[in-house]
Structure 1
């Protein structure tokens, strides 16, 4: 299965265009944002757990990255309410479930084999935020190949200055982004909208009139060429 699998091209999905599809597990649905492979794939998805839904214990050979968007996501008897960022390294395993229901942003099979660090950060905790110029930043993960953070931008503030090195991936968490890259027709992206920019892109994306909060990953597309990625 190939969905937005050419990583040299721009990809996007506005939240109003979500198409939910069933997963192999009852009560769990997903919106596929990008995917290279079958059920065990290099994949980026929005996943929705119905109340009292679960997955059996399983491994993630290629690692798993999660941002809880709403509800409460749980795994191995630990609850993670909306705002928690989790990073489970390659060959880790867990038994995920949700008692009340949850929506999460998930990235699978996108970590180097040598990554070994577990990460669990509550982005609701003000202590995890710091000022960086005019914007507030919550740093989530950084290594030689990628940088992950949440950013709060003021009204009309540009997200990038100059070329997007190493590519970028954006998920709107609150407020609106204005995309002036669309010729003659600026696009507005509301909460839940996803944008992926290729290596070397020039972008005029900026915050809307009320500001915006985004998940931002940069640098991670430097090693990805077209669809030459094995997902399983």
Structure 2
């Protein structure tokens, strides 16, 4: 299956653009955002677990990145409440489930093969830092090579300077409304901007976004 698979193209999915699709496991559904391949292929999705649902134990040949959006997500290593950021590296294995139900943002098969660090961060407890312009607060989550991942909070009325995305940029809007000259993106929106794209972002009402930059460089620049 190919969905927004060309990383050289800008992609935007608004909250009402896609419906829920059943996964191979009963009680688990997905809103697909991008996909290139089958179950073990490159994919970005919002995944919803009904209470008591589970995936069978499985491997992650290309790594797995998770942000818990709602509820409690679990595996044999622990329980992860809303706001938890998780990276399961290339070659890792687990059996995920949710006793109470949960909603996740999930990215599969998108790790640098050399990035072997497992990461678990409770963002509700972590410290924030001032951003590059007044009104921005940043919570760094992970960096490896050119890839940088963070939560960024925008106070109402915050504007950022025009800038170029070396290696691309990907955003999931978690709260409020994020904006740029191309449009407005309410909570639940997903945006992917390709290598060397430019924009001038702002937020009139304020917002909270999950941001990845630089991670599209290797695949975007390969022949």
TM bin, normalised by shorter chain, reads over 0.9
Mapped partners of 1:38, 1:98: distance in 2: 24
Mapped partners of 1:16, 1:160: distance in 2: 29
Aligned to 1:131: 130
Secondary structure at 1:113's aligned position in 2?
coil
Residue 213, structure 1, aligned to residue 208, structure 2: yes
Mapped partners of 1:179, 1:193: distance in 2: 13
Unaligned runs of 5+ in 1: 182-186
Shift in Å, 1:160? 5.6
Mapped partners of 1:61, 1:122: distance in 2: 25
Shift in Å, 1:77? 5.2
Q: Is the 8 A contact 1:90 1:113 kept in 2?
A: yes
Report the RMSD for the aligned CA atoms in angstroms.
1.6
How many matched pairs? 221
TM-score by length of 2: 0.94
Aligned to 2:73: 73
Deviation per residue, 1:60-96 (Å, 9 max, x gap) = 0110000001111111151111100000100001111
Stretches of 4+ moved more than 4 A in 1?
none
Q: 1:190 aligns with which of 186, 189, 197?
A: 186
Aligned to 2:117: 117
TM-score by length of 1: 0.90
Q: Which fold has the larger relative contact order, with Cα–Cα distance below 8 Å and residues 6 or more apart in sequence? A: 1
Mapped partners of 1:70, 1:157: distance in 2: 27
